[in-house]
Copies of this chain bind each other. A is one copy, B any other.
Amino acid sequence: MAKASSTGVRPTIRMVAELAGVSTATVSYVLSGRRGDGGPGVSDPTAEKVKAAAERLGYRPNQAARAIRTGRTNTVILSLTMLSDPWSLSVIEAVQKAAVPLGITPMILGDADWVKVLGTHNADAVFVDAVRGNQRDDLRKLAARGTTLVVFDEVLDAEGFDVIRSIAGPGCRMAVEHLLHGHRRIACLTPATASGTSGGSRYRAYSDALASAGIPERQDYVGLFDGTTAGAYAASTRLLSMPDRPTAIYATTDYAAVSAINAAQRLGLGVGVDVDIIGVGNTVEGERMSPSLSTVGPVDFFDKLARRLLKRAAGHGDHDEPAVLDFPWHLFVRESAPHRSTATRLY
């Protein structure tokens, strides 16, 4: 049984070198596993001695020190504003699956204030899931300083960083039009902050589709909430408790749609029967729940996102130009808002 370092001090490469009776360079070669591919060869007995010494001391290379020398951190940062949103969990899941085999560690930044953090902390690549108007300049500055960015946004251009975009507008339009096949009294459930930001296009799809169908928009059919799950639940309850309640709800995010389903069931309404509910985003949670959530969303979005991010993180030399990646949207018809024919329509 090795005694390990009971000194309370972290073992350094130098201690390993001393214990093995070699130089620090040799240790570095052996432990970073690069001998033979152009790097100097090290004799097997020496390599063994080094490995044994490292093991005995419990040596692990110091990433901070390595980063300062190599410029690589083997880390990607995910800046996620709404951690409770299933969308964020899907991002995390996909990135983690793709990162682990590459020896890259994903670190999650829950704070919305990524500007300050990314200025001082480095990562091989950074994913940012929401950019407010006044942060556009910060993004450009970060990119100019060499930070590798992948940004999720519907309007930004690729000014030194990748932009992942999934044009919500047409997709959302499809969602509302799907409801229009069976309904006239359609409500919209959307966070209050979304009026100005990217969510705005999701709401606009609702307005436009209704207008095209010749249905006047009712103010009391717009359920604004504060962005929380509880808020979405409350707003849904209000909508579904009205005397002339809507027969369908278009929710601008999947998690809001999930809350709406729970609220409807609480009120004793059959989801997909008495009331249809459709979401936006195509998250796994929606697919797995019961009744399964009808939704619109990009296909394979999360995997593609993860691939892009890790390609940027790993491929330090490859210089694909930063680009805008556009993901097409599909309509996923499931139980919460099934197909409606003239026979089954609710008006």
Contact = CB atoms under 8 A, between A and B. Distances in A.
Contacts of A67: 64
A233 B289 contact: yes
A105 interface: yes
Interface residues of A, number: 55
Given A5-B144, A120-B62, A266-B290, A111 B96 contact: yes
Given A65-B68, A73-B64, A290-B266, A146 B8 contact: yes
Contacts of A119: 60
Interface in A54-75: 58, 60-65, 67-68, 73, 75
Most chain B beta-carbon contacts within 10 A, residue among A9, A11, A64, A119: A64
A265 interface: yes
Copies per complex of this chain: 2
A121 interface: yes
A120 B105 CA distance: 11
A109 B107 contact: yes
Interface string A68-88: 100001010000000110100
Nearest to A291: B266
A152 B64 CA distance: 27
A145 B289 CA distance: 45
A141 to B, nearest CB: 6
Given A108-B108, A145-B5, A122 B265 contact: no
A25 interface: no
Contacts of A288: 228, 230
12 contacts: A4-B141, A4-B144, A5-B144, A8-B144, A8-B145, A10-B145, A92-B110, A96-B111, A100-B111, A106-B110, A107-B107, A262-B262
Instruction: Report, nearest first, the 9 A-B pairs whose CB atoms are least far apart.
Output: A108-B108, A60-B119, A230-B288, A64-B64, A63-B120, A265-B265, A64-B67, A107-B107, A10-B145
Interface of A: 4-6, 8-11, 58, 60-65, 67-68, 73, 75, 83-84, 86, 89, 92, 96, 100, 105-111, 117, 119-122, 141, 144-146, 228-230, 233-234, 237, 262, 265-266, 268, 285, 288-290
